[in-house]
Every structure is written in C-alpha cells, then in structure tokens.
C-alpha cells in the first residue's frame, strides 16, 4: 500500500484541520462582516500571529522578513543541505473566501506535522507571502518579488489609496525596507518551490477530479479602452445622427466574446464598463471599458489583442466614435519547471490520485518564483468553480489528496536527482 492509504485516517483528520484553520483565519479581517486582509494591515498582523502559533505547534519557529512575509524552516540535520520552499499567501481580495492563499500555507504546515521526525535530505521553508493579490497598492506579487530580488525602488514608491508608499507601510508595520535585500531573499541553497492552491476555475469540478498539476501560467494582457462619441439628448437626436459610444462599445464586447469562444485556450473578458457621466436621457458620449486577454502562448495572446483592438476601432468607426486603447499591463506566460512538475504528477499517482495537467488562468506567486528557482503548482478542485467569493469552498477529500501528494513528493524528493 502507498503512503496515503496507510495513513489515510490521520490524513483525513489533518485535512479537516486544514479546512477548520482556513475558516478560522477567514474570521480575521480588516472589514467586519467579510474577509478582507490587506498587505501590512492590522488583520494581517493578527493572521500572522495565529499562523505563527500553528507553525510553533508543528515544531517550527516563525519570523517575519522585512516585506512582511511570515517564514519558518524545518531544518534537516545537515546545516548545508539544500532547501525546498512550500508557499502561498495570506492576503486576500476584498470580500474573499477562506481558501485562496491560506490553503497552501496550512497544507504546508500540515505536511510538516505529518512528517513528524522523519528525516529528509533537505530543509523545508514554509513561506506565507504577505502580498499577492495587489489590492492595497494596485500591483500584485510585491512580496514574492522581494523574495527573488526583483523588488525595485519604483515598487517601494507605489502608494495606496491614502497616499502611503509601500516603504512607509513597511516601516509602520515595524519592519525596515532597507533590509529587504538582506532578510527577504530565498535561502541560498533553495532548489525547488511548490505552491498548492485552489484552481479558482470550474475545470476540475466539471471533470470530477480532485487535483491538477499546473503546466504553465497563462500570459495576461490588460488594456483600458475609451470610446469617445458625442453625448447628446436621447429624445431629440435621431438614430442616424448619433455617435453613441455605448453602442460602439457594445458591438465590440459581443465580438470579444465571440472571438474568444472560437479560439482554443483563449479567454477574453470585458470586466468593467462605465458610461461616463451617463444619464438615462443622454446618449453616452464616453464609455470606459477594460479588456483582459489570457492565453498559454504569448504569440497567440498578442495576435488576439491586436485583432480585438482592430474590432474596437471598426465598431467605433461605424458610429463616428473614436477609440483610445492603453496597455495597463503585460505579463508573459510562465511555464512551470518540467522536472518538478513530473515529480508532482508521479507523487499524486503514488498517492492514488490522477492529477490532470492544467493551465493556470490566474497569476500566482509561483510565476515570480519561477524566475529564480524550479517551481511547480498543485491545484485543488474549486467546487462550482467559485473563487474570490465568500462562498469559495474546498472538499475535505481533495485536501486529503493534496496532502497525500505533497507528503509523497517530500518522501521521494532528492534535491539533485532528475526524474
């Protein structure tokens, strides 16, 4: 029998504890009545105290680095052994669910608890990143950028809604931004990094599977479009003499949907639409809209964006509406480490699960870490595909499957042996 089956009862209990802890953590919030934990906020401090306590119960001593990441290491007897990082994040989107981020952190702690005193030929560092969602400073991954030496003075100068720069927020939290290059980098001998995370999509749920291993994280183009027509009286302006910015935007939105639906692996979303100073009796003069395009292949994404911008211009030109588009952000597709990904698949198999290969349509810290260290991701089914939502869920059996897979990986992983 494999490891998971032999320890199945205690793994089920541990999985239930992981879920209980995620739910307990969800009660720690900056916004009463919902779960909202922002980077370096009061709720983040309380959440770190609680997670730090759970780390201590697992035999680990936690500390906070100077970008606010909570970190703890299970040391192997050989001080100069290499390090495996297990990570996810503790910050949330506004009005979040309980599992996006915390689940990966608490799975890592549970795996270490389950290991007990089993010797391994590497240290395991658990990192609970402090900033992944990008909510407070309108920019994601600040804390994994710090851990990989990619955080710049420009990042530190970004301000939140109250005009407070990142550097000042760090100081207010009792940390020292000048020490980021000293306290934040991954341990020198880090040889691999693994994040467990909910899928945040419906694919595992639809195929009735517990787990998937991420092949690559899609590239993302984010654009802002302004449709500029002519505001005018809704009663006195005949249809033939209008420059209706909303009608132009609407034609384009339908075309975005149609194009993406017919293009393999492409998703394209017009998420925010707003008729500027709109009124029910005024023909919309200005419409602002966002465009989010994702594809596992950068060249396909670029081609799609170019096509969709042309469509916007055509829809505008039909109505005398000018279209102005600006690139908000561009993120290249990031493949996960091939060898580590195969090892995750193999570990799932040994644990008795069939983890399907998947693309991550969402960005993750794993994208940032991949630039510095071989990185892989394990996805757990999101029931109903729901995420970034208070009703976000995970199934206990899936958490058990993930825990069994991680344990199997840990017990079979050799830092310098390729599959």
Q: Choose one: 145-153, 166-174, 266-274, 369-377; the region binding a copy of itself (CB under 8 A).
A: 266-274
Q: Is residue 257 involved in binding a copy of itself (CB under 8 A)?
A: yes
Q: Are 333 and 297 in contact (CB under 8 A)?
A: yes
Query: Which residues within the stretch 172-211 sit at the binding site for a copy of itself (CB under 8 A)?
Result: 199-203, 206
How far is it, in rounded angstroms, from Cα 201 to Cα 100? 12
Q: What DSSP string runs through 197-261?
A: EE--SSHHHHTT-SEEEEEEEPEEEEEEEEEE-B-EETTTS-GGG-B-HHHHHHHHHHHHHHHHH
- Which residues fall within 8 angstroms of residue 317, CB to CB, at 6 or more apart? none
- Tell me which of 362, 370, 377, 413 binds a copy of itself, using CB under 8 A: 362
Residue 75: how many CB atoms within 10 A of its CB?
14
Q: Is residue 321 involved in binding a copy of itself (CB under 8 A)?
A: no
How far is it, in rounded angstroms, from Cα 117 to Cα 115? 6
Nearer to a copy of itself, 146 or 218 (CB): 218
Q: Is residue 270 involved in binding a copy of itself (CB under 8 A)?
A: yes
Shortest distance, CB of residue 341 to a copy of itself, whole angstroms? Answer: 19
Q: Is residue 269 involved in binding a copy of itself (CB under 8 A)?
A: yes
How far is it, in rounded angstroms, from Cα 375 to Cα 381? 20
Q: Are 113 and 58 in contact (CB under 8 A)?
A: yes
Shortest distance, CB of residue 379 to a copy of itself, whole angstroms? Answer: 10
- Tell me which of 38, 156, 249, 333 binds a copy of itself, using CB under 8 A: 249
How far is it, in rounded angstroms, from Cα 175 to Cα 185? 15
Q: Choose one: 57-65, 259-267, 299-307, 343-351; the region binding a copy of itself (CB under 8 A).
A: 259-267
Shortest distance, CB of residue 62 to a copy of itself, whole angstroms? Answer: 31
Q: Is residue 234 involved in binding a copy of itself (CB under 8 A)?
A: yes
How far is it, in rounded angstroms, from Cα 393 to Cα 182? 38
Shortest distance, CB of residue 126 to a copy of itself, whole angstroms? Answer: 25
Q: Is residue 324 involved in binding a copy of itself (CB under 8 A)?
A: no
Degrees to nearest 5, angle at CA 329 with 326 and 332? 130
How far is it, in rounded angstroms, from Cα 61 to Cα 44? 18
- Tell me which of 116, 161, 163, 233 binds a copy of itself, using CB under 8 A: 233
Q: Is residue 314 involved in binding a copy of itself (CB under 8 A)?
A: no
Interface contacts to a copy of itself, rule CB under 8 A: 199-203, 206, 218, 220, 222, 231-241, 244, 246-247, 249-254, 257, 260-261, 266-275, 278-284, 287, 290-292, 294, 328, 360-363, 385-389
């Amino acid at each position: 029998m494999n490891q998971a089956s032999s320890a199945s009862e205690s793994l089920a209990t541990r999985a239930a504890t992981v879920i209980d802890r995620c739910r307990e953590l969800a009660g720690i919030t900056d916004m009463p009545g919902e779960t909202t934990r922002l980077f370096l906020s009061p709720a983040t401090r309380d959440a770190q105290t609680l997670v730090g306590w759970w780390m201590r119960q697992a035999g680990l001593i936690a500390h906070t680095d100077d970008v606010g990441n909570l970190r703890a290491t299970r040391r192997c007897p050989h001080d100069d052994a290499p390090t495996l990082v297990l990570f996810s994040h503790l910050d949330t989107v506004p009005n979040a669910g309980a599992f996006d981020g915390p689940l990966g952190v608490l799975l890592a702690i549970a795996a270490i608890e389950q290991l007990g005193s089993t010797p391994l030929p590497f240290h395991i560092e658990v990192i609970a990143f402090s900033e992944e969602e990008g909510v407070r400073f309108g920019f994601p991954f600040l804390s994994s950028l710090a851990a990989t030496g990619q955080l710049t003075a420009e990042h530190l100068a970004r301000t939140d809604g109250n005009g407070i720069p990142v550097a000042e927020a760090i100081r207010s939290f009792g940390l020292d931004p000048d020490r980021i290059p000293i306290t934040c980098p991954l341990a020198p001998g880090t040889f691999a990094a693994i994040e467990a995370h909910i899928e945040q999509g419906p694919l595992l749920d639809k195929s009735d599977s517990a787990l998937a291993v991420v092949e690559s994280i899609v590239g993302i183009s984010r654009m802002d479009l302004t449709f500029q027509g002519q505001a005018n009286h809704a009663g006195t302006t005949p249809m033939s003499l209008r420059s209706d910015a909303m009608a132009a935007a609407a034609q384009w939105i339908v075309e975005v949907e149609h194009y993406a639906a017919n293009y393999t692996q492409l998703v394209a979303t017009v998420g925010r639409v707003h008729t500027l100073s709109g009124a029910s009796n005024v023909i919309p003069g200005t419409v602002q809209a966002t465009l989010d395009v994702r594809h596992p292949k950068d060249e396909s994404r670029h081609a799609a964006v170019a096509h969709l911008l042309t469509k916007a211009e055509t829809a505008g030109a039909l109505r005398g509406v000018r279209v102005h588009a600006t690139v908000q952000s561009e993120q290249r597709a990031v493949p996960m480490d091939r060898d580590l990904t195969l090892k995750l698949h193999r570990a799932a198999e040994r644990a008795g699960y069939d983890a399907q290969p998947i693309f991550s349509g969402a960005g993750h810290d794993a994208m940032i870490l991949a630039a510095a260290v071989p990185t892989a991701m394990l996805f757990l089914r999101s029931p109903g595909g729901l995420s970034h939502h208070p009703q976000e869920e995970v199934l206990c059996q899936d958490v058990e499957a993930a825990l069994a897979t991680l344990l199997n990986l840990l017990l079979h992983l050799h830092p310098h042996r390729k599959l």
